[in-house]
Amino acid sequence: MMKNRSLNRPAAATAPVMIRQERTADVHCLICTHRVQAQVLVDRRGARVKSGEKCSRCGSSLEAGYVLSLKPAA
């Protein structure tokens, strides 16, 4: 009797990314040129700073800033 079933099923490697995901990321503030943390929205096209996010250093809007690096979801 051949029983070849493995319990180790491969995980779905290509799980679709959620349409919109809110994450914390490092964002480059164009005004004070510092790296601050802000909430960003991630979708298939990339990451954008969430509307209304403010720089924690200078208080400027970060919507025009660059998202530098995403952190793993907490």
Residue 31 contacts Zn ion per CB under 5 A: yes
User: Among residues 23 and 35, whose Cβ is nearest to Zn ion?
Assistant: 35
Going 9 to 11 to 13 to 16, the CA torsion angle's sign is positive
Distances (CA, A) of 38 to 4, 17, 18, 43, 45: 49, 20, 19, 16, 19
Strand partners, 69: 26
Site for Zn ion in 40-69 (CB under 5 A): 55, 57-58, 60
Q: In the stretch 6-25, what mask flags binding to Zn ion with x, by CB under 5 A?
A: --------------------
Chain positions contacting Zn ion, by CB under 5 A: 29, 31-32, 55, 57-58, 60
